[in-house]
C-alpha cells in the first residue's frame, strides 16, 4: 500500500501518499489528501533546491480526467437535501457521476517553509472544483431540490509542477533561466464504494488511492560551459 511509503502530514482522511522520484538536482515528494469538501490538496515537498532561488519557487496541483481524451473525472457526488440542517439524504447520499473538465491551483512557496541549509521546501496547494462544475452534477441527485456539496474522484490524473528561477546569473547570457519540474500520476480508488460521508467534517473520506507515475520532466537550468 502506498500509504506506507511516506510519512504523511496529519489530514482528516482520504490520504494518498505518493513516493517522488529524485531528479539529479530537484526532487518532488507529494502527499495527496481530501481534507475538506470539493477539494484535493497536494502537500508538495521540494528538495535539492540548490540551483533555484526559493524566493521565486511556486507549486501547482492539477486534478484531471484519468487519461487524455476523456471529458470527465469519474467519481462519487454527495447529494444533500435543502433542509435547515442540511442533513445528508439517508441511504442515497452518494451517486456515481462524471465531473466535466479539470481543476487546479497554484501557490507561491512561503519562505518560512524553506530550509536554506537542507534545500527543502514544503507547500500545500489546494485545488477546488468550481461552482459551475458542481452545479452541473445536481441533475444526478434523486430529488431536483437537492444539491451536490462534495465530490470524490474515483479515478483521476494528478499533475504537480514546481517552478523557480535558476539562482546563478551570467552577464549577457539569455539561456534557460527558469526551471520547471513536473510529475504526473494516474490515481485509482480501488474500492470507491467504500467512500463514506463524515458528519463531523462534512466531507467524503475513504481508503487510499493506488497511484502510478506516468511522466517525469525536468527543464533544468542551462548555463554556458
Give the Cα separation of 41 and 102 in Å (integer).
14
Full-model pTM: 0.79
- Cα 138 versus chain centre, distance: 24
- Asked if pLDDT for residue 23 goes beyond 50, the answer is no
Q: What is the mean pLDDT of residues 135-139?
A: 92
Smallest CA-to-CA distance from 48 within 195, 218, 175, 172 is with: 218
Note the pLDDT tens digit of each residue in 192-224. 878 887 777 777 877 777 788 899 998 887 666
- Asked if pLDDT for residue 105 goes beyond 50, the answer is yes
Give the Cα separation of 74 and 98 in Å (integer).
4
List own/partner pairs for 113-119 with CB under 8 A and 24 or more apart: 114/49, 114/54, 114/57, 116/54, 118/47, 119/47, 119/48, 119/49, 119/50
- Asked if pLDDT for residue 122 goes beyond 80, the answer is yes
- Asked if pLDDT for residue 19 goes beyond 60, the answer is no
At residue 2, φ and ψ (nearest 5 deg) are: -65, -15
Give the Cα separation of 83 and 130 in Å (integer).
23
Three-class SS of residue 86? coil
Contact 109, 125 (CB under 8 A): no
Residue 104 is predicted with a pLDDT of 93
- Asked if pLDDT for residue 110 goes beyond 70, the answer is yes
Q: Which of 93-102, 112-121, 151-160, 206-215 has the lowest mean pLDDT?
A: 206-215
**Euclidean distance between the first and final Cα of the chain, in Å?**
45
Strands in 178-188's sheet, in edge-to-edge order, are: 103-108, 52-64, 155-166, 178-188, 210-218
Note the pLDDT tens digit of each residue in 37-91. 778 888 888 888 878 888 899 999 999 999 988 999 999 888 887 665 555 545 4
Amino acid at each position: 500500500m502506498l500509504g506506507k511509503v511516506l510519512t504523511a502530514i496529519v489530514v482528516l482522511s482520504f490520504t494518498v501518499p505518493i513516493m517522488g522520484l529524485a531528479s539529479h538536482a530537484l526532487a518532488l515528494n507529494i502527499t495527496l489528501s481530501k481534507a475538506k469538501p470539493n477539494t484535493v490538496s497536494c502537500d508538495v515537498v521540494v528538495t535539492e533546491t540548490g540551483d533555484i532561488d526559493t524566493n521565486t519557487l511556486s507549486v501547482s496541483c492539477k486534478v484531471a480526467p484519468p487519461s487524455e481524451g476523456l471529458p470527465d473525472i469519474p467519481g462519487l457526488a454527495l447529494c444533500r437535501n435543502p433542509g435547515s440542517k442540511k442533513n445528508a439524504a439517508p441511504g442515497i447520499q452518494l451517486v456515481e457521476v462524471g465531473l466535466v473538465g479539470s481543476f487546479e491551483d497554484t501557490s507561491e512557496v512561503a519562505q518560512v517553509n524553506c530550509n536554506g541549509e537542507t534545500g527543502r521546501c514544503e507547500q500545500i496547494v489546494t485545488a477546488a472544483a468550481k461552482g459551475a462544475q458542481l452545479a452541473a452534477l445536481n441533475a444526478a441527485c434523486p430529488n431536483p431540490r437537492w444539491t451536490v456539496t462534495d465530490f470524490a474522484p474515483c479515478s483521476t490524473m494528478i499533475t504537480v509542477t514546481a517552478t523557480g528561477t535558476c539562482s546563478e546569473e551570467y552577464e549577457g547570457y539569455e539561456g534557460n533561466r527558469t526551471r520547471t519540474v513536473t510529475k504526473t500520476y494516474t490515481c485509482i480508488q480501488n474500492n470507491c464504494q467504500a467512500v463514506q460521508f463524515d458528519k463531523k467534517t462534512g466531507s467524503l473520506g475513504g481508503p487510499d488511492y493506488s497511484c502510478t507515475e506516468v511522466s517525469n520532466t525536468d527543464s533544468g537550468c542551462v548555463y554556458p560551459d
